[in-house]
Each structure stands twice: as C-alpha cells, then as structure tokens.
Amino acid sequence: MSTSEYRPEFTAYEGNLDEVEVRASEPLKNFYGMSLEDLKSYLSGLGKEQFRAQQIFKWAYERRITDYELMSNLSKTFREELKGLLDFSMPPVLSHLISVDGTQKFLFDMGDKNTVEAVVIPSDDRLTLCISSEVGCNMGCKFCFTGKQKLKRRLKASEIVGQFMQAHDRLKPGQRISNIVFMGMGEPLDNPEAVFKSIEILHDPWGMNVSRRKITVSTSGLVPEMWRVAANKVRLAVSLNGSNDEIRSQVMPLNKRYPIKELMAACHEYANETGEKVTLEYVLLKGVTDQLTHAQELHRLTKSLPCKINLIPFNEHPGSGYERPADAQIEKFQNELIRLGSHVLLRRTMGRDIFAACGQLTSEFANKPQTMDISNSKIGSTYSKTKQPLSPSRTVEINN
C-alpha cells in the first residue's frame, strides 16, 4: 500500500510527539440511542460543556433539525466536530399503509433483510403508536402472526426510538403521538435494556416528553422481568388469553414455564407497588376461549386483582388455525363478564383490513398478504355500516 492510500487518524496529544498513537476511526454513535445523560457524559468526556447536550436534544427532538449547519447556537468549530461524532440515521420506511379507519402501518428496514412493523392508531382523544421491540419473537403464541417467525434479533434502543420518530415525522400538522404501547412485534421484556432505555429517551422533557402514564409495556407473561415495569413507572398490560392453565398453555407455550398462579402473583405485586390497574388482554378464539364457562372462570381468576379486561376478537392471518367468533358470541361473552361484575372493555378492531390489528404484525416475506376482507365481523369496527370489502390506500417509500 502506498503512503498516498493510507490515511491514519491521529489523537491530539500534549507531550512527546513520538508517543502519538495511530488509532482506527471509531463508528459514529447513534443519537437516537442516547439518553440526555448519555450525551452529556459523552460530550464531557471529549472536553465539551454538558449543556451542549440539551441544545442538541432541543434541535433534534423539538425542532426536528439534524443538520448541524442549521444549529445556529453551536459554534462553527463544534458543528464540524459533531459531524464525526453523532449519527442521526433512523430505520428506513419501506412501506406505509393506511387503513380505511385511519390506522397507519409502517414497515421498517432494520438491515440484513430484517424488517419490523409499527402501527399508529387514531382515536377521538389520542394517537397511539404500537411499537416493535424485536425482529420476530421467541414466545411462540399460537394466535399471533409474529409468533410464526422465530426471533432473529432484538432491536437497539436507537431502532425503537427511530420507529417513533419516523412515524412522528409523517403526522399531519398539529398531530402528536400521545401514547405508546409496546404491543408490536416481539416480547418487550425479552429485550428489557433497549426497551426501557428507549422509554427513558422518549419520556425526557428535552426529548419527546411522552408521559410515563401514557406508555404501556405488554408482556406475554415473562414473570421474572415484570418488576421492571413498575420500576420504570409505566403501565402494565398482560396477554392472559386463557382462563385456566390447560387452555393458556395450549395457546401460549410460555405458560408451561410461568403458569397462571405465578403470573397473577406478579400482577398483584405490580398493582400493590404502583397503585395502578393491570390491563389484561384476552383474545377470543372461536370454540377455544369464547365460551360462557370461560368468562366465568376468567372472572373468578381476576376478581381480586385491580384490573380491566380488554376483550380482543381474534384477528385472522394466514395459517393461524383459529377463527374469529361470531359477533353474537362476542357480545354474550362480554355481557356475562359485566353481569358478574368485571371491569371489561371490548377492544375496537382497528387496521384489520391492512393486517395492522392486534396479532397481525410480522416481517416482510414472499407473498405476504397486504389486505383482507373485513366484512365477516362488524363488531368493534369504526366502519360497521359498510357492507362491501374495503380497500385501503397505500403509499410506498423506499430508503428514505
């Protein structure tokens, strides 16, 4: 190799020049994976003032400006230095689907042919982002589309925050993501360090300032990690989906490791420590979890726990082997729980026509369905009076 081809990088050093060491260039740190304290520490270690971290946070999060040349309150010298220190890249959006009910689904490129989906769910008083924490999932829940693909890798905090920012940047003027639910692809408590780091970043007042009370972490029942939810002062949702161990183990293999008794004990511990109700998610599968005897068992199981029960009519996906109950049966199940005195809500089905509803998220693969006929059930649908199959609008964005 000629000297003209070799470009070493030198470390500034005060002393004998013979002791100056050549070091390889270090990869840039991704800004979206750093908390404010992380950035302060990083800059301080470089001999910079810590308040510069707050300035950068304000530019990047509040003003959404990541071009250093536009950060006018930073010196020109410092701006030039930062170009070699921080990376503001986010997971590219590969596709952006919009449902007839306004639900938006994003497919993100996580590199190495790995993709995840996230969903923005509109309602009258809030805009909720359902976010993913892993590519695939190891929990293997039988009714979940994600569960059909094994875990490929856990996402970094920067990739979780990046999903939020990409969705945020595509909102209409005046709109704001008010709520975050970790109910997308993957088991959040199987990737706790990155999940709770991303919560710290998004909650920071200098960042996106999302209230911890507006953030929910959902788990399939990874009992040993559930303490983290209370410790981070966010809300807990638990995928129960079975009124007894036999049924729950059938649809959720994790129950064999952490049966209902252990799971409910962890839920009681969370409620006692935080004073908050636990949200129990219960998927209604035709002939499996939707009978009145199941409703009665569910009430007995949960009546001593401060909780609300979210009933979720099953959302179909290819090869699931399960069916969605008839609307009449769903109503009977709900009414039985109400009669018994449970606090129960019927989850409004959103985005089902673009495979964006609960349990329908997955990575991209050959012949993956993009739309479906949703005319077989009207219950809980925003468009319940529509009689014909609905076609969503679609935009596609590559490498943006």
pLDDT tens readout for residues 142-176? 888 777 788 999 999 999 999 999 999 999 999 99
Question: 371: number of CA atoms within 13 Å, CB side?
Answer: 13
Please state which architecture CATH assigns to domain 28-88.
Orthogonal Bundle (1.10)
Determine which one of 117, 159, 200, 281 is catalytic: 117
pLDDT digits over 291-316, tens only?
999 999 999 999 999 999 999 998 87
Using CA atoms, how far apart are residues 30 and 395, in angstroms rounded to an integer?
28
14 classed as catalytic? no
First and final C-alpha spacing in the chain: 37
Q: Degrees (nearest 5) of the Cα angle 267, 268, 270?
A: 65
Q: Given pLDDT bands bounded at 50, 70 and 90, which one contains residue 395? A: very low
Residues counted in the chain: 400
Determine which one of 19, 200, 358, 364 is catalytic: 358
Report domain 93-395's class: alpha beta
Domain ranges of the chain: 28-88, 93-395
Q: Of 72-86, 119-133, 360-374, which range is least confident?
A: 360-374
Residue 325 has pLDDT above 70, yes or no: yes
pLDDT of residue 368: 58
Tell me what percent of the residues of the chain surpass a pLDDT of 70: 80
Using CA atoms, how far apart are residues 239 and 40, in angstroms rounded to an integer?
38
331 classed as catalytic? no
Quick check: 166 and 91 in contact, CB under 8 A?
yes
pTM equals 0.86
pLDDT digits over 179-223, tens only?
999 999 999 999 999 999 999 999 999 999 999 999 999 999 999
SS3 135: strand
Quick check: 365 and 107 in contact, CB under 8 A?
no
pLDDT of residue 145: 78
Q: Which residues pair with 9 in a beta bridge?
A: 23
Residue 19 has pLDDT above 70, yes or no: no
Phi, psi dihedrals of residue 152, rounded to the nearest 5°: -95, -45
Beta strands in the chain, from DSSP E residues, in sequence order: 9-10, 22-23, 29-30, 86-87, 93-98, 104-109, 115-122, 127-130, 134-135, 153-154, 179-182, 215-219, 235-239, 278-284, 307-313, 344-346, 393-395
